[in-house]
Amino acid sequence: MRQFGCVQKIAIKYLKCLNMIYSICKNMLRSGGLSAIITIISFFSANAQLNTYPAPAGAALNPTFTIKVRLAGKKEWQPLTAYSVKVVHTKLPGQTVENASMAYFSFDGTAEVSVSFNEGKIDSYRIRPFSDNIPSVVEGNTIRFTLQQPSNISIETNGDIFHNLHLFGNPLISFVPNVKDSNLIYYGPGIHEVAGGVLEVPSGKTVYLAGGAILKAHVVFNNVHDAKLIGDGMIDQSERGGISIEQSRNITVQGVFCARCFTGGSQNVHINNVKAISFFAWGDGMNVVSSNDVLIENVFNRNSDDCTTVYGTRGKYSGGCRNITMQHSTLWADVAHPILVGTHGSTPNKDTLQDLSYIDIDILDHNEAQIDYQGCMSLDAGDNNLIRNVRFENIRVDDFRRGQLLNLRVFFNRKYCTSPGRGIEDVLFKNIVYNGAHAGMSVIDGYNDERKIKNIVFENLQINGTVFCDTMKEKPGWYKTADLAGIYVGNHTENIVFKKTE
């Protein structure tokens, strides 16, 4: 189940609260205080909150779905705006751009949602990611379900992934904007143009993008510190828009919708509950280049190139990457990789990309036609990069369209690199689950004896219900475990381990 924020702390507080309520209710029942218990329940229900945001005049809307939401126990439904968002559909040898839908609201408590499909009969539907375990019912052309917590989901009718509804149920943002604060740059509901198309955020400033706002600008943090971009609003989906964090420190981006969010040459960056959907060429979602201490969490990325990357030296950014974490997130690559590390760097620099973590992630799609450039989880060391100490844990992969489950290579790909990488070492794949039929053969392959792949551990790798481990009783002795798992282990590799734990 998807959690937003400090999961353990919230869970502990929640359990303590439940225990306290349980004790109070138990004592009240003993003394016949049923009415007091009802009062307590009513208090908690009455203090739940739901915020919806009407579309500004001139916004591009999509009539495919009609969406309504209400708090549990309430009678009155509130309508949600269905915006039109563009996604890319690859149909070799070309691509088309399709118009999907997007809606958002914010809440705490429990939200009931009604989604009506206006294009005909619903023969089938699904709500993803499946790990959110959202029970639902369909009546005629209407799907109804309940959200117990903030969720970023896709609702797909009749197998159509290109005209689906992206529904973002956001958590309430604790920040309360004070429009008189000189350190606040405030954009209220409406469409906002910025002169020159670029919003430069100074140090110490907070940009607040309210729900119902659309900002037509490229938001840039350039050589600044202690600055923020927060809110429930939207940044225009065009190629010129998006967010760039460049050579800056102590930067927070929270809540907004955009096309992409780039981090280069920066440190202490926190990207939280940002939704990035792109449709244009080179439409990477969340690139991290030559940066340290970057936390990306609770994001939803559907992109027309790699969803998230970690690279070394590139352009004006110099150096490797350390301590990069993506967690509690959903990735959908209409083109290229959901996760890619290591392709780009600088041959003279010999960068190191290390201490990388990808935890609690749903991969909804992967679609890459370049056979030598695939992988839902790809560690591809080029440009003299060394990749080490990487953790993939609790990754759930749906049946994607085209590609490989994983790709670990030290390579010299002249299309993208100037030299082979230096190696890949100390990588853990723990609790990786794939269910599907379209994955090609995965690859683990070094370059030479000086540029190896080593110390790779698969713990509880599950493919279509089978957990692959070196102690499998059904495995003939002349087979490698990797053979049965559909993974080619090539030359210049050592200590590739498959194990099963409780």
Residue 152 makes CB contacts below 8 A (sequence gap 6+) with 2, 166, 167, 168, 169, 273, 275, 298, 299, 300, 330
CB atoms under 10 Å from CB of 323, counted, come to: 16
CB–CB of 172/108 below 8 Å? yes
Give SS3 for 39. helix
Per-residue pLDDT tens over the stretch 3-32: 444 444 444 344 444 444 444 444 544 444
Which amino acid is it at 250?
N
Would you write out the chain's pLDDT as a tens digit for each of its 502 residues? 454 444 444 443 444 444 444 444 445 444 445 444 434 444 444 579 999 999 999 999 999 999 999 999 999 999 999 999 999 998 888 899 999 999 999 999 999 999 999 999 999 999 999 999 999 999 999 999 999 999 999 999 999 999 999 999 999 999 999 989 999 999 999 999 999 999 999 999 999 999 999 999 999 999 999 999 999 999 999 988 999 999 999 999 999 999 999 999 999 999 999 999 999 999 999 999 999 999 999 999 999 999 999 999 999 999 999 999 999 999 999 999 999 999 999 999 999 999 999 999 999 999 999 988 999 999 999 999 999 999 999 999 999 999 999 999 999 988 889 999 999 999 999 999 999 999 999 999 999 999 999 999 999 999 999 999 999 988 888 899 999 999 999 999 999 999 999 7
Burial call 267-295: b when 16+ CB within 10 Å, e when fewer = bbbebbbbbbbbbbeebbbbbbbbbbbbb
- The DSSP result for 89-118, as a single string, is EEETTEEEEEEEEEEEEEESS-EEEEEEET
Non-local CB neighbours of 389 within 8 Å, separated by 6+ positions? 354, 355, 356, 425, 426, 427
User: Would you state the pLDDT for residue 2?
Assistant: 53
Strands 321-333 and 300-303, bridge-based pairing: parallel
CATH class of 50-171: mainly beta
Q: Note the pLDDT of residue 31.
A: 47
Structure tokens at 186: 């405030």
Residue 126 has which token pair? 């699904």
pLDDT, position 67? 98
pLDDT tens sequence across 35-62: 444 344 444 445 799 999 999 999 999 9
Tell me how far CA of residue 110 lies from CA of 74, 203, 352, in angstroms. Answer: 11, 38, 45
Contacts 24+ apart (CB under 8 A), 70-77: 70/111, 70/112, 71/45, 71/107, 71/109, 71/110, 71/111, 71/112, 72/45, 72/48, 72/109, 72/110, 72/111, 72/112, 72/146, 73/45, 77/114
Closest-CA residue to 170 (of 154, 141, 147, 145):
147
> Which residues, 6 or more positions from 11, have their beta carbon under 8 angstroms from its beta carbon?
3
Amino acid letter at 247?
Answer: Q
Name 409's bridge partners.
Answer: 380, 445
The CATH code of domain 260-499 reads 2.160.20.10
Task: Report the first-to-last Cα separation within the chain, whole angstroms.
Answer: 20
User: Which residue is listed with tokens 């809307």?
Assistant: 61
pLDDT number for residue 20: 46
In 148-233, which ranges are E strands? 151-157, 165-171, 184-187, 190-200, 206-209, 213-222, 225-231
Residue 279 amino acid letter: F
Strand pairing category for 286-289 and 308-311: parallel
Picking from 411, 341, 426, the residue whose alpha carbon sits closest to that of residue 375 is 341
